[in-house]
Every structure is written in structure tokens, then in C-alpha cells.
Amino acid sequence: MSEMDWMSLVALLMVAILVVPAALRRNRGVVLRNAALWLALIVALVWAYDRFGPFGN
């Protein structure tokens, strides 16, 4: 990873550290359900791209 990639990752983690605890405190059940749904959707998209994408197995 380049230095710019590391800096972007650190910035994303810093924002997550600020936002996630407040969001979880606000409405725990809904946020966790939505996070699980988004995570499942992202995993499915990554799998589909890896399986059927332009990589040529």
C-alpha cells in the first residue's frame, strides 16, 4: 500500500471512532440490524465481482 492509502485508512478509522459509538448509543437495535444488512450486501457484491468480474480465472 502506498503512503496515501495508509493515510486514507487512518482517516477513515478516525471518523469511525468518532461516529460509531454515538450511533450505537442512539438506537442500538436498528443500527446493528442495518449494519448487518449492509455488510451482507457488500460481501455479496464483492463475491459476485470476484466470481464474475473481469479477472478471467
18 within domain boundaries: yes
57 within domain boundaries: no
pLDDT for position 34: 85
pLDDT for position 2: 76
Q: Domain of 28?
A: 3-52
Q: Which residues of the chain have pLDDT under 50?
A: none
R_g of the chain computed on alpha carbons: 16
Residue 28 CA: distances (Å) to CA of 2, 17, 21, 35, 37 = 36, 16, 10, 11, 14
pLDDT for position 40: 92
Burial of 23 (0-12, 13-18, 19+ CB in 10 A): middle
20 within domain boundaries: yes
pLDDT for position 50: 82
pLDDT for position 36: 86
Structurally, how many domains does the chain consist of? Answer: 1
22 within domain boundaries: yes
pLDDT for position 1: 65
Is this structure's pTM higher than 0.85?
A: no
28 within domain boundaries: yes
